[in-house]
Structure formats: structure tokens, C-alpha cells
Chains A and B, each alone.
Chain A
Amino acid sequence: MGQPLDPAPHPATPNIWLAEFQAILQGAVGGFLFGIPLLYTVEVWLIGSTTGPRWQLVVLAVTLVGVALLTQVEGFRQTLSLHPLEALLESIEAVAIGVGCAALALVLLCRITLETPLSEALGKVVFEAVPFALGVALARSTLQGKRGRANETGAPSASGSERLANRRTTAPISRRLAALSRVNLSDALVDLDAALIGAVLIAFSIAPTEEVPLLASSLPPLWLLLIMAASLGLSYAIVFASGFTDRAKRQQRGLLFSPITETLAAYLMTLLASVVMLVLFQQLTPNDPWSEWLSNTLVLGLPASIGGAAGRILI
């Protein structure tokens, strides 16, 4: 392996990094989508806390094998057919992305803090990394729209520049000026609708569980701001930064909202959905203090916003 890399400045050099960053982002997004339900499962934390190092290594190895098998069919990169050795390299990367995302998510939810003993932290990371790593390997096949995949199939070497060009492609000015027409408004509503469907799909199975109040009550006061920032950032990354969507198509129909406005509007929508679900399952009652309403809603809002973003790119 390893022909010496060409040190000469390649014309596409900046785009290699952009494309790679986008591929990693896509993998991470897939990881979060798959991993979030198990992240909100108290049993996984407990199993992780009590498992010994030997078993942790076994789980890690099994994950690597599973991801390698998946990567033979679908990797997180845009490459179509892979050399077996290259598939192995890519699955190592996928597992590492899964480990990284799982660790970040566990820290975000305060399941790993500075007080957590090393063995517990390692166990939690290893067990949560399993769904995350599988999600990374499946990122492209789950999140890429059929249209996008057809395009990729046509041009397997679609470089970052090409995709960047796609992103920049917008409707002609004349159509942009007609942005506030009824058609565009209804398109924007379709987006919010999709966000709602996605949010309910992912968060409905989490809302009735005891993990939501458990997590919410264990967060330090200002930590909720971090959860909000992560929800918004992940939502933005899934829809706008990862390159899963057909940008030209989106720009043409969603002109009412800029990406940031759309992210914020969708987040508010998912928060609303979270409150409704929590009230429906009687997790929140009028007797609860407002701070509990706030923290529970924001904690459930994280998976809901990830689901909402996935809904917006898939529906």
C-alpha cells in the first residue's frame, strides 16, 4: 500500500479537505441518528459501567467486524466499490468516528464527567460506540436521498468542488424575488411538517422513558445552553453542512427561510413537539416547576431536533 503521496500542490487540494470533512460529518450525522436512542437508555450506561476490560475489548472487536461487513456494502464515503483493504481502513475510521461521537454525546449529557472513574467512562464509551459506529457505516444508505445517490452513482468521483458548486446553485434572481409567493410558503411549511414528523418519529420512543427527567435533573444549570447549542448545531450540520441534500433543489423551494432561520424555526417546532409528547405521557404536569418543564423539554429536544433534521432531508 501507500504509493508516496504527490507533494506537489494539487489544484483540487483545498477541496480534498473539504470533501473529507464533509464525509466525516456525514458519518457523524449517521452515527448520531442511530446512536441517540441507545444514548437515552439507562441500561446501556449501567452495562457499560459494570463491564470489565476484557469484555470491552471483545465488544470493540465485534463492532469493528460488524462495521467492516457493512462497509463492504456501504461506507460513509462517496466511494462506490472498495478494495478489501481499503474497506478495512474505512471501517477503522468509522469505528473511530463512532467512538468520538459517543464520547462527545456522553460528555454532553453529563454521563461522563471529570469525577467518572476511568473504567466506567471506558465502558460507557465502548457500549455507546456500537450504535454510533453502525450508524456511521450506514450513514450514506440511510440519509442520502434516492436522487442524490443516483447522481453520485453517475459520478462516483464527485469532488468537493462539484458539490460546492451544487450548493451555490440557486434559482435565478427573478425567482428569488418571488420568494414570498404562496408556493414558497407552502414549501416552507412542508419543511416544518417534515421536521415535525422526524422529531416525533425519533423522540416518541424516548419521551415516556425515565431517562429524560433523570438526565435533565443531573445537568448543571448552564449545561442546558450547551444542549441547545448542540441541538441547533447538529440540526444545521445534518441539513446544510453535510451535503446530504440536493442543495439546488432545496434552494429553489425553501427560499422563504435562510439556512439559519430554517434551523431555528425547525428547532422551535421540535421543542413544541417535545413539550406535547412529554405532556401526553404525563412526564410534565402543571404542578411541576417551570425549570423542570424547561430542562425536560430541552433534553428531549436534542433527539427530537436530530430526528427533525433527518426528516427534513428525507421527506
Chain B
Amino acid sequence: MDEPNFPDRLSPPNDAENFTQRSAAEWVTFMVASIILLALVGLICFDWQTNQNRPPAFTVAVSEAVRVTDGRYYVPFAITNTGGRIARMVQVTAELHQVGADDETGEQQIDFLSGHETKAGSFVFTHAPQAGELVVRVASYRLP
């Protein structure tokens, strides 16, 4: 059943008195909330200072542990953005030069690579990469 409204309780006597109605629990919430937001702002500023003036740079590590499945050679690689800023559309190409056979190429596009982020994948060849010369490099990237 609906209770009747009491207009006199609706309007506080004055603003100042209303303000002091905050309970201890509410103050604790406010302090924790402030700490959370300040921490967030602090982390954003920290990231700004440390990362944003360092352009993307890449290192590609090609693993020696080549996996052979069904006559194909899977060469794992890991690319790391050693710079601070994010890079988009990072293009990694692999070329396998071999004597007596056509060159094989592989291409991989990585959508996003943040600063200090590592992403991994594999190139697949039909010839043993140990027999030839394998060159893996970053060809291009785009700034966001």
C-alpha cells in the first residue's frame, strides 16, 4: 500500500544541514572512490610520460623449434614492440631463400601491437627452413 508523502520531510531545512547527513560509511566510500580515480589518473599520466614519446620499434624472434607436420614446416615467431606507442597493421614478412628452388614467402599482418606487447604466430613453408636462408622482418606499420 502506498504511503502518503510528507512534504515537510521532502524539503530539508537548509542546505548546510542536509550536507552533514553523510554518514561515516559514505565518507569511507568517498575516500576509496577518490583513491581509485586518482590511481587511474596517475596510471594514465605515468603511461603518458613513459611511453608516448617513444615511437614503435620492433624485434622479431624466430624460434629454432621448427615443427614438421604433414610435410610442412611451421616456424614460430614472436614479434615485440620495444617502443612505447602503439602500432597498427604491423606487417611481418618472411622470405626463405634456397638454392635450387624457388623462394618461399610468408606474410602476417598484426592488427594492434601496443608498446612492450608481444604477439606470436607461425610461418608455414614447404621446404626445410634450415636448408636455406630465412629472413623475417617487419615491413611496415601504421600509427593509430
Q: Pick the residue among A117, A151, A153 that contacts B115 (CB under 8 A).
A: A117
Interface secondary structure of B, over-half rule: helix
Which of the 9-residue segments B25-33, B61-69, B127-135 touches chain A? B25-33
Q: How far is the CB of B80 from chain A (nearest CB, A)?
A: 11
B11 touches A49 (CB 8 A): no
Total interface residues in chain B, CB < 8 Å: 48
The answer to the question of B78 belonging to the interface, with a C-beta cut-off of 8 Å to chain A, is no
Residues of A within 8 A of B112 (CB): 46, 49-50, 120
B88, A20: Cβ atoms under 8 Å? no
A120 to B115, CA, bound (A): 9
B84's closest neighbor in chain A, by CB?
Answer: A119
What's the Cα separation between A255 and B11 when bound, in Å? Answer: 39
Q: Which residues of B contact A100 (CB under 8 A)?
A: 36
Instruction: Report the minimal beta-carbon distance from B53 to chain A, rounded to whole angstroms.
Output: 11
Asked if residues A92 and B44 are in contact (CB atoms below 8 Å), the reply is: no
B1-25 near A? 1/0 per residue, CB < 8 Å: 0111110011110011011111111
Contact indicator A99/B37 (Cβ below 8 Å): yes
> Are A80 and B117 in contact, with the CB atoms below 8 A?
no
Contact B19 A150 (CB under 8 A): no
Question: In the bound complex, do residue B41 and residue A96 qualify as a contact, i.e. CB atoms below 8 Å apart?
Answer: no
Known contacts A20-B23, A50-B112; is A119 also within 8 Å of B41 by CB? no
Residues of B within 8 A of A117 (CB): 114-117
Whether, in the assembled complex, A233 has its beta carbon less than 8 Å from a beta carbon of chain B, the answer is no
Nearest first, the 4 closest Cβ-Cβ pairs linking A and B are: A96-B33, A20-B25, A53-B48, A154-B3
**B residues whose Cβ falls under 8 Å from a Cβ of A:** 2-6, 9-12, 15-16, 18-30, 32-34, 36-37, 40-41, 43-48, 51-52, 86, 88, 112, 114-118, 144
